[in-house]
Amino acid sequence: MIFRCQIKIFILIINLLISINVFAQDVNIELRAETWDIPRHGEALLEVPELSSAMQKWMADPQQKIELRYPGGEEGELWVEELRDWFVTLGVPSGVIQISPGSNAEDVINIVLFKR
């Protein structure tokens, strides 16, 4: 009887640790250049699924940081600066946003939400 209780508690602890690990994983959203190629204003940007998803995930836990990984070069820098400005305009504090080169493609900005 005690042994069964210990096994149940052990299984419960394992499940809890697994679920914590699942929820602690970074969120990576790809914003493609073709998606960004729209007339940009607040309402239109909130209809972009990638941005809407990033904002919803950040608002669910504002303690997260947002890293914008952009393609290198001047064009990538201009794009990521504009995207960062839009995040700030939409209510994300600028101190939460980090930018760094190194997206996974020339036409993609990776929006990574993480908790550290």
Which is more confidently placed, 110 or 9? 110
Residue 115 confidence (pLDDT) above 70: yes
Q: Which residue has the tokens 């940081």?
A: 65
User: Which pTM does this prediction carry?
Assistant: 0.76
Which is more confidently placed, 115 or 23? 115
DSSP readout, 15-81? HHHHHHHHHTSPEEEEEEHHHH-S---HHHHHTSHHHHHHHHHHHH-TT-EEEEEE-SHHHHHHHHH
Domain boundaries, the chain: 26-114
For residue range 47-73, list pLDDT tens digits in order.
Answer: 899 999 999 999 999 999 999 999 988
Res. 20 pLDDT band, cuts 50 70 90: very low
Which fold would CATH assign to domain 26-114?
Answer: 60s Ribosomal Protein L30; Chain: A; (3.30.1330)
Token pair for 82? 């504009």
Token pair for 34? 């073709």
Strand partners, 67: 98, 112
